[in-house]
């Protein structure tokens, strides 16, 4: 069946699968906290599973990870990922799931603005208008008014900005450094960081249900890693990019199914604006 699909179709399918895998992973981690785990404990345990899988993969493939991979851009990428993870999961347990995920959609628009300012990439007036439209959608979800605003939303915004820094650091990593060392170092760093945080925030007994949720989360996150890598290797990114916004739809579905969270009218409107802006932006 795969031979019958065009590269662009495959890229779109990979983008959709990867985006939804990340969302489901986040949902499972939050579900693990509702099963009794501290949030950083859950992420730490997930990291332990992932590191074990990556070590096994490196051993089977007989890949050697030289010290030379520890370049400045790679270290910066890992640091940005660690900051993003710490801030996002701190906020996730205090916000509606779909809201937190939707705020992260600020990343593609912020990348556009930073690329124009820092890298001199050409952005048309229409492009800036679309960025502004996407920002309006995020504001609709965040709701910076005294009655509706949650300060935890600021942590998600910080997480999004860290992801922007991660994207530009990734761009500067030497092309001969494969994805496995990058993923392995990232997983190990996040595991160490969350292990330290868990020592301060608390360590709870791990029930069978919580353990299963953590293992499932690690499986989905590895899937997210793999699909995101495969996306850039087939087809045109401009075609696959709009499918990134399926994460918003997935987040609403996960929030409804896992946590019985029904988005209100303004949240739905904000999601719709972000999806529309994202799809339009990819075609500019």
Return the domain boundaries, the chain. Answer: 2-282
CA 172/CA 258 separation, integer angstroms: 38
What is the reported pTM?
Answer: 0.81
CA 117/CA 123 separation, integer angstroms: 10
CA 6/CA 61 separation, integer angstroms: 29
Q: How many CA atoms lie within 13 A of 141 on its CB side?
A: 32
Residues of the chain above pLDDT 70, percent: 87
pLDDT interval class at 63 (50, 70, 90): low
**Over the stretch 219-244, which tens digit does the pLDDT of each residue have?**
999 888 788 777 766 666 556 666 77
pLDDT score at 144 = 63
User: Please, which residues have CB within 8 angstroms of residue 71's CB and are 6 or more apart in sequence?
Assistant: 173, 174, 177
**Over the stretch 122-164, which tens digit does the pLDDT of each residue have?**
777 877 787 788 788 877 877 766 666 788 989 999 999 998 8
What the block records as the tokens of 7 is 């590269």
What the block records as the tokens of 263 is 């988005």
DSSP state of 67: G
pLDDT score at 37 = 94
Quote the crossing angle between the two packed helices 7-34 and 208-231, to the nearest 10°: 160
Query: Radius of gyration over alpha carbons of the chain, in Å?
Result: 19
**Over the stretch 67-126, which tens digit does the pLDDT of each residue have?**
666 778 888 988 998 999 999 999 998 888 888 888 887 877 787 777 777 767 677 787
pLDDT score at 1 = 47
CA 122/CA 115 separation, integer angstroms: 8
CA 256/CA 250 separation, integer angstroms: 10
**Over the stretch 177-211, which tens digit does the pLDDT of each residue have?**
777 778 888 889 999 999 999 999 888 999 999 99
């Amino acid at each position: 069946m795969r031979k019958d699909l065009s590269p662009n179709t495959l890229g779109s399918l990979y983008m959709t699968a990867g985006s939804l895998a990340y969302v489901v992973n986040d949902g499972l981690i939050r579900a693990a906290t509702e099963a009794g785990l501290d949030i950083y404990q859950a992420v730490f345990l997930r990291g332990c599973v992932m590191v074990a899988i990556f070590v096994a993969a490196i051993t089977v493939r007989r890949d050697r990870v030289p010290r030379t991979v520890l370049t400045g851009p790679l270290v910066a990428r890992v640091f940005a990922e660690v900051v993003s993870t710490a801030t996002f999961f701190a906020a996730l347990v205090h916000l509606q799931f779909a809201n937190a995920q939707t705020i992260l959609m600020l990343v593609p628009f912020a990348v556009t603005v930073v690329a124009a300012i820092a890298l001199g990439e050409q952005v048309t007036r229409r492009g800036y208008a679309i960025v502004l439209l996407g920002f309006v959608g995020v504001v609709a979800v965040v709701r910076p008014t005294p009655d509706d605003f949650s300060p935890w939303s600021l942590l998600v915004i910080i997480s999004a900005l860290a992801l922007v820094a991660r994207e530009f650091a990734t761009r500067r990593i030497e092309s001969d450094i494969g994805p496995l060392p990058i993923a392995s170092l990232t997983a190990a760093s996040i595991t160490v960081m969350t292990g330290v945080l868990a020592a301060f925030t608390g360590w709870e007994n791990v029930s069978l249900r919580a353990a299963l949720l953590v293992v499932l989360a690690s499986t989905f996150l590895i899937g997210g890693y793999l699909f995101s890598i495969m996306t850039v290797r087939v087809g045109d990114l401009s075609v696959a990019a709009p499918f990134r916004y399926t994460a918003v739809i997935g987040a609403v579905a996960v929030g409804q199914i896992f946590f019985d969270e029904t988005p209100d009218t303004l949240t739905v409107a904000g999601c719709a604006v972000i999806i529309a802006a994202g799809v339009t932006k990819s075609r500019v």
